[in-house]
């Protein structure tokens, strides 16, 4: 056994007292378009692991067919157990994490839900655990895998636009899944000027430079507005089928016993699935603007930070330790700064409102279709379909509508009142 603790294992915490010099804040950013980016792209065009890991890649590239034909489990059971020691550098580790997390999700697509606790076979669980430990990530498909690492340029010299982008690994329903992943990626891309504006704003606060601070807040509000524009319109784009979407085995009524990682722990472990709540950008904006969510929402969001790559998590925590923007604006007595601050808060609330609209139109409709499908003769828990309690939850384990409305409302409360 590799000594995992039952009930879920968090990645290593940020060392106590760690402080990044201000110029390093931007270098900590690993979002698309920043100085660094989530491997394996675009800094690397690598989409294949070294030859010893061919068995993983063969299964990963054939996941849609293997899942729909119910042959994935037999292929995984025949897969040799490989060690992660031949992986070199973070790019190969990130690609390996992406590959193993997708294989894990596919393997669990045909989990018999009535059993209560799943078992991930040792030849998959052990290397997945090793790679996760090396990266400081949990052994589950997270937002960092699903979106930030799962893309490539079709033309390496072409623009970062949806027509020139594709996913690396997919699941059944490839086209709708591809659209969902790439649109989410473009929302992250739209946020990049806002991430840079955060650094500019904190520097301006420290230097008491109100003109630069005003410019930074204008850039932040514009970036958040561009994120809203990057979201899909109200019609014409579908999300992937929930039956193959990333799942959670924490706070999940379908898997109350969690998941046993064979060869890692005798006890089941519980992890939350990929969720937009694991994205760095909204955490960073909330910290800069001093948005204070409800106790329940805050606890969930802070738990989601354990699913971020460690440099992302460090970036958010450093913003939290920076001087308060809100207090600086209030004490300045500068009406322009107050108005610019409020534009940022309003833009963030508008983004969250539109996101609620998207979730309502697509996820709720998809959940209703899934429920209707289970009502057909012969369907039931033994058919491998999740219970209806999942339909009101996000993949991160949150009650999605109440959570999204709560964070939208508390964002609005962050406005500076006259």
Element (H, E) at 179: helix 174-206
Residues annotated within a binding site for heme b: 355
Distance CA 320, CA 66 (A): 45
- The span from the CA of 190 to the CA of 209, in Å, is 26
Residue 8 lies in a domain: no
Separation of alpha carbons 85 and 192, rounded Å = 34
Q: Is residue 3 part of a domain?
A: no
Distance CA 133, CA 131 (A): 5
Residue 69 lies in a domain: yes
- How far is it, in rounded angstroms, from Cα 148 to Cα 37? 8
Overall domain count for the chain: 1
Strands (DSSP E) found in 189-281: 259-261
- The annotation places the binding site at 355
32 close to 38: Cβ distance less than 8 angstroms: yes
Q: Please report whether residue 39 resides in a domain.
A: yes
Whole-number Å distance between alpha carbons of 31 and 60: 25
Other residues' Cβ atoms within 10 Å of the Cβ of residue 84: 20
Q: Is residue 418 part of a domain?
A: no
Residue 247 belongs to some domain of the structure = yes
Residue 5 lies in a domain: no
pLDDT, one tens digit for every residue, the chain (418 residues): 665 543 443 433 333 333 444 545 555 555 554 533 343 344 345 789 999 999 999 999 999 999 999 999 999 999 999 999 889 888 899 999 999 999 999 998 765 544 545 889 999 999 999 999 999 999 999 999 998 889 988 998 888 889 999 999 998 877 788 888 899 999 999 998 999 999 999 999 999 999 999 999 999 999 999 999 998 775 444 555 544 444 677 766 667 778 899 999 999 898 988 888 999 999 999 999 999 999 999 999 999 999 999 988 999 999 999 999 999 999 999 999 999 999 999 999 999 999 998 888 776 666 666 666 555 444 443 344 444 434 455 554 457 888 999 999 999 999 999 7
Q: Is residue 375 part of a domain?
A: yes
CATH of the domain at 237: 1.20.58.480
CB hemisphere CA count around 16 (13 angstroms): 0
Give the domain extent around 189: 22-412
Q: What is the DSSP string of 33-46?
A: TSSS--TTSSS---
């Amino acid at each position: 056994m590799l000594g995992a603790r039952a009930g879920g294992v968090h990645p290593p915490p940020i060392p106590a007292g760690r402080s990044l010099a201000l110029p390093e804040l931007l270098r900590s950013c690993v979002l698309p378009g920043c100085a660094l980016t989530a491997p394996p792209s675009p800094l690397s065009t690598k989409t294949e692991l070294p030859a010893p890991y061919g068995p993983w890649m063969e299964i990963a590239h054939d996941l849609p067919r293997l899942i729909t034909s119910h042959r994935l489990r037999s292929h995984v059971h025949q897969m040799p157990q490989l060690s992660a020691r031949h992986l070199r550098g973070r790019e190969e580790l990130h690609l390996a994490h992406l590959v193993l997390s997708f294989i894990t999700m596919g393997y669990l697509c045909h989990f018999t839900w009535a059993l209560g606790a799943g078992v991930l076979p040792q030849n998959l669980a052990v290397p997945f655990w090793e790679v996760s430990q090396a990266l400081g990530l949990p052994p589950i498909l997270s937002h960092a895998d699903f979106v930030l690492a799962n893309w490539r340029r079709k033309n390496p010299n072409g623009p970062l636009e949806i027509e020139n982008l594709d996913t690396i690994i997919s699941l059944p329903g490839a086209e709708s899944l591809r659209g969902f992943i790439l649109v989410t990626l473009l929302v992250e891309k739209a946020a990049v000027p806002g991430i840079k504006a955060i650094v500019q704003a904190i520097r301006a606060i420290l230097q008491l430079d109100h003109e630069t601070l005003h410019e930074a807040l204008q850039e932040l509000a514009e970036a958040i507005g561009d994120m809203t524009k990057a979201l899909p319109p109200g019609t014409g784009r579908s999300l992937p089928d929930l039956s193959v979407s990333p799942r959670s085995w924490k706070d999940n009524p379908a898997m109350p016993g969690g998941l046993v990682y064979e060869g890692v722990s005798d006890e089941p472990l519980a992890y939350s699935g990929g969720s937009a709540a694991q994205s760095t950008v909204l955490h960073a904006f909330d910290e800069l603007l001093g948005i204070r969510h409800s106790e329940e929402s805050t606890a969930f969001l802070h738990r989601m930070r354990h699913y971020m790559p460690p440099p992302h998590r460090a970036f958010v925590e450093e913003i939290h330790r920076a001087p308060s923007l809100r207090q600086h604006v209030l004490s300045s007595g500068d009406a322009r700064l107050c108005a610019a601050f409020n534009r940022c808060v309003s833009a963030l609330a508008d983004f969250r409102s539109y996101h609620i609209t998207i979730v309502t139109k697509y996820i709720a409709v998809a959940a209703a279709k899934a429920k209707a499908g289970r009502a057909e003769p012969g369907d039931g828990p033994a058919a491998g379909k999740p219970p209806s309690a999942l339909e009101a939850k996000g993949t991160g384990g949150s009650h999605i509508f109440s959570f999204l409305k709560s964070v939208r409302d508390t964002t609005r409360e962050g406005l500076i009142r006259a």
